[in-house]
Amino acid sequence: MRYLTPYIEKDLKRKMVFIGGPRQCGKTTLARNLLKTHKVPSNYFNWDADEDRKAILEQKWLGSGNLIVFDELHKFPRWKNWIKGQYDKFKDEHQFIVTGSARLDLYRRGGDSLLGRYHYWRLHPFSLHEIPKGMSAKDAFQRLMKVGGFPEPFLDNDEVEARRWRRERTEKIIKDDIRDLEAIKDIQTLSLLIPLLKSRVGGIITFSNLAQDLHVAPLTVKRWVDSLEKMYMIFTLHPYTKNLPRAIQKPPKIYFFDNADVDGDEGAIFENLVANHLLKRIHFLEDSTGHSYKLQYIRDKEGREVDFVIVKDNQVEELVEVKWSDDKPSTSLLYYAEKLKPKKAYQIVANLKRSYKSGNLHVENAINYFAGMSPKGM
């Protein structure tokens, strides 16, 4: 059972549920498992399948069970008005789940015809927050570092097959998702941007430098980065500057949803892993509580930098610094913990033998920091 299951079940009693997130993170499997618990596994309809598409348009699902799942329905040009009509007419008889990845997220934002009729949940890959039954936290951590958290490579734990899976997924995103949704003609050059980003994880991204490497305009690179973010391949972190007169405006940092995409040393891979975990947590909190969260970083003119800042409703809630092996408290983290006075300040160290506290700063290893956080406590 995935971590969102009980929350989706609860929301279905009141509204439709839309499930989004990265391609191949387990949305369809989650929806099918929900159908099994409702004992209506046949009520799954995929718009990409000719037979299912015909059944959807002819409403052959009516009277066939309470819960109904529509996968890839957003490919139907009039899908929002159609599902609105079905929900308004049959909400007392049926519960509806609509699943999709980047396209669903993008299309649902246009217009307000569905306003108030659904709750949206973003599903993420496996993490130390969410470990499959029977797997130890240590084993999960090693898999996350080696093959990433997407269900297929994570559960198989085979590096060769993971590389093959990752290449196919990247091709699908570029050739299907981006080509279909974005007015980008030079797909071949865009594909060259991805390995450049993989080697810059955790560092400041300068569009002009990337543009020079690719022989395109900086605005083109920015547009491509925005497209990759929309497709759930990467996510960007922008600097936190509120109430920091010495802070400097900097371009974003970039991280990958697939931890195994990172082309760097163990420190870079571990920092990306922590970024993924923090983003998963704040997406869950946003979707479940309605509060606004941001994941950012801090860097000032004196070079003091903290890797991650969690901001809740425009207030700094937590500071997180990441180290592979250095367990000495970060002077920058101590400085900002004193200046911003967040509720929590953590230094997460991959190779830490013993956790300890220094003032208001907690020095903790990743397994202890994340593994004990069930969705309820995320």
Residue 37 clears pLDDT 80, i.e. is over it:
yes
Confidence at residue 183, expressed as pLDDT on a 0 to 100 scale: 67
pLDDT in tens, 195-226: 999 999 999 999 999 999 999 999 999 999 99
Q: Tell me, yes or no, whether 128 lies in a domain.
A: no
Residue 112 and residue 143 in one domain: no
Residue 87 and residue 226 in one domain: no
Task: Point out the domain boundary residue: 89, 122, 155.
Answer: 122
Confidence at residue 376, expressed as pLDDT on a 0 to 100 scale: 52
With bands split at pLDDT 50, 70 and 90, how would you rate the model's confidence at 378? Answer: low
Residue 68 and residue 207 in one domain: no
Least confident of 27-31, 148-152, 180-184, 259-263: 180-184
Confidence at residue 188, expressed as pLDDT on a 0 to 100 scale: 85
Residue 185 and residue 117 in one domain: no
Q: Tell me, yes or no, whether 132 lies in a domain.
A: no
Task: Point out the domain boundary residue: 73, 93, 122.
Answer: 122
Averaged confidence pLDDT in the chain: 91
Residue 97 and residue 194 in one domain: no
Task: Give the global pTM.
Answer: 0.93
Encode 159-177: b = buried (16+ Cβ within 10 Å), e = exposed. eeebeebbeebbeebbeeb
Which range of residues forms the domain containing residue 110?
5-122
Residue 279 and residue 187 in one domain: yes
For the sheet with 305-312, list strands across it.
253-256, 234-239, 293-299, 305-312, 315-323, 344-349, 361-365, 356-358
Residue 259 clears pLDDT 80, i.e. is over it:
yes
Residue 295 and residue 223 in one domain: yes
Q: Which residue has the tokens 């109904």?
A: 68
pLDDT in tens, 116-142: 899 999 999 999 999 999 999 999 999
Residue 225 and residue 160 in one domain: yes
Q: Tell me, yes or no, whether 131 lies in a domain.
A: no
Q: What does the radius of gyration of the chain's CA atoms come to, in whole angstroms?
A: 22
Q: Tell me, yes or no, whether 214 lies in a domain.
A: yes
The domain total for the chain is: 2
With bands split at pLDDT 50, 70 and 90, how would you rate the model's confidence at 187? Answer: confident
The rounded distance, in Å, linking the Cα atoms of 262 and 274 is 13
CATH number of domain containing 89: 3.40.50.300
Q: Tell me, yes or no, whether 218 lies in a domain.
A: yes
Residue 111 and residue 157 in one domain: no
Task: Point out the domain boundary residue: 99, 122, 145.
Answer: 122
Q: Tell me, yes or no, whether 342 lies in a domain.
A: yes
The residues, ordered by sequence, that sit 6+ positions from 64 with a Cβ below 8 Å of its Cβ are: 40, 42, 43
* H-only helix segments in the chain: 5-12, 27-37, 50-57, 79-90, 102-108, 137-146, 151-156, 159-172, 179-181, 187-198, 207-214, 218-230, 266-289, 331-340, 366-371
Confidence at residue 289, expressed as pLDDT on a 0 to 100 scale: 95
Residue 143 and residue 266 in one domain: yes
pLDDT in tens, 267-288: 999 999 999 999 999 999 999 9
Residue 232 and residue 268 in one domain: yes
> What average pLDDT does range 239-250 have in this prediction?
74
With bands split at pLDDT 50, 70 and 90, how would you rate the model's confidence at 373? Answer: low
